[in-house]
Structure 1
Amino acid sequence: MTEKTLVRVIAKKGKSALVEWGDDAGIHRAFVPTDSITLDSSNHGRTVVSADDLAIGLPYGVEWSTAVTFDLSVEEMEQALYRRGIWTVDDVRANPQAAVSALAYAYGANLRALYNAADSVKTAV
């Protein structure tokens, strides 16, 4: 008997469904045939798909880890924190929003890389 994996059905259209599941490697989404989705009576009626069907499903989403390269150095991040007044752990605790703002600012230039990667993937499809 093949192993069953708990899934969440995101959408169904025709004979395919977009499902989401998690495992040790992370969270995943893929299109699978709707007839591969079952309710597992041994698992409180939860929605499951066989591991085999998930393995051959059509992956959904951009593989961001390979599509984008961030070039932020730790020194640049440090300076962004300093510019926002974050010098100590106590500063982070007292003003966590400033720390988040520093990270958002530091990664701002890299957001452009994210958009470029998304555009290149979109045009490749």
Structure 2
Amino acid sequence: MPRAQARRRHDRGPRSSLAGPVLPLLESRQTRFEDALADAAEYLMGLWPDDLAGVGFRWADMPPSESAPAAREVPQWAVDHQQRTITVFRLPIQRLVHLHVDDDWHRRIAIESCVFRAAAELIGREPWEVAPDRYRHH
């Protein structure tokens, strides 16, 4: 019996892959957030290479708890001028920002808007100056 026929079970054809069908990559709200943040940061670094040289963009789920009692609102980002870092907080943006249309594009724009405003705060400019063709305040 040829080897190919030996793999057939009860005339059902060749066996399927042990891992199953090829599945699309898993995408979560967190990975979409990370991608939008990275894209916005890369865009800004291309526009302002001298002003943003050495700036680190990062994200955290929530701001540190010690900043909460003094603040009236939950911050969406934090800028550290000494360390030259921008930290964008995922959960306040994803859960507390009220969008007039709740779809992927508007959620992405909300994330980008926070990144642009944080970068503007770091380099001492207005957000519409930092990203004139992409800044949309929501």
What is the TM-score of this pair, normalised by structure 2? 0.26
Give the structure with the higher percent helix.
1
Give the structure with the higher percent strand.
1
